[in-house]
Amino acid sequence: SESDLERHFEETIGRDQRIEPRDWLPEGYRKTMIRQIAQHAHSEIIGMQPEGNWITRAPSLRRKAILLAKVQDEAGHGLYLYSAAETLGADRDELTEKLISGRQKYSSIFNYPTLTFADVGVIGWLVDGAAICNQVPLCRSSYGPYARAMIRICKEESFHQRQGYELLMTMMNGTQQQRDMVQDATNRFWWPSLMMFGPPDDDSPNTAQSMAWKIKRHTNDELRQRFVDMTVPQAEALGVTLPDPDLAWNAERGHYDFGRIDWAELKQVISGGGPCNAERMARRRQAHEDGAWVREAAAEHARKQRERAVA
């Protein structure tokens, strides 16, 4: 009966075991999981654009090869995550439709422009750094296919983060102009990176239920604090200043204190009013339309294969 199934589900979660596609699960869990996985997948796909913007203008063959590989990894993460959403009964075309019609979200961070090549390094350092901080605990998320996807994705994200840091180290050892570019990119990306972790805990409608279901393992504010603590020494090693006069070690808490985040800005970016929202969506829609012939050809090919198999 339904209540037996429900009890079995709760016990599986209680024992810290994984929920698998074959298992019964409550509709709310399915909806939340599809929402989070789809948003995550959309973020990877839209997230190709800000860095992709620099592929043709990379300063050397080596930098171009690295950047090309990274952006391809992001495409791979997106496709991998869409597949994880499919195990919950989501339809891939429908998810894409929801993204390009603005009914499903993607991370706020990808709505900021990439103005110089230093942005590529800072995205690797701060944006991939924040992504890792958020995603490592998701390797223990209760939904099996998502948790397993996170293991592989985190390995690649770690590599991306080192890539960004190495690029910034090189620039910091270069000319004054290069150092200024790194500082400027850091100034622009610091606060938006902190916003990647989501609204503060007292304004996060999904956290309590997602923690109870062990989809999320930490709250938004816990992970944001972890990221700040991890990043301050990295900024010092790099020789850049984080643009927050209130940033200071708090010996009593054993953490860095930091300044007030502009939550109105996050709300505005999430609701479509960020600096690049319209551009990112237009680009994604165009790419989808341009790819229509590929989808048609693949479907036709599959149809012929099936016909041949029957014959």
Name which position in 44, 119, 185, 242 contacts ligand FAQ (CB under 6 A): 44
User: Restricting to residues 69-98, which ones interact with ligand FAQ according to CB under 6 A?
Assistant: 74
Amino acid sitting at position 59:
P
Q: Is 134 in the site for ligand FAQ (CB under 6 A)?
A: yes
Residue 272 CB, shortest distance to ligand FAQ, in Å, is 11
Looking at 87, 178, 187, 206, which residue binds ligand FAQ (CB under 6 A)? 206
> Which of the stretches 100-108, 162-170, 286-294, 302-310 binds ligand FAQ when contact is defined by CB under 6 A?
100-108
Distance separating alpha carbons of residues 83 and 77, to the nearest angstrom: 10
Q: Which is nearer to ligand FAQ, 146 or 256 (CB)?
A: 146
Asked if 49 touches ligand FAQ (CB under 6 A), the answer is: no
Contact pick of 12, 49, 96, 108 for ligand FAQ (by CB under 6 A): 108
Query: Nearer to ligand FAQ by C-beta: 40 or 226?
Result: 40
> Alpha-carbon distance 40 to 153, whole Å?
11
| Residues near ligand FAQ, by CB under 6 A | 35-36, 39-40, 43-44, 47, 74, 105, 107-108, 123, 127-128, 131, 134-135, 195-199, 204-207, 210, 216, 220, 270
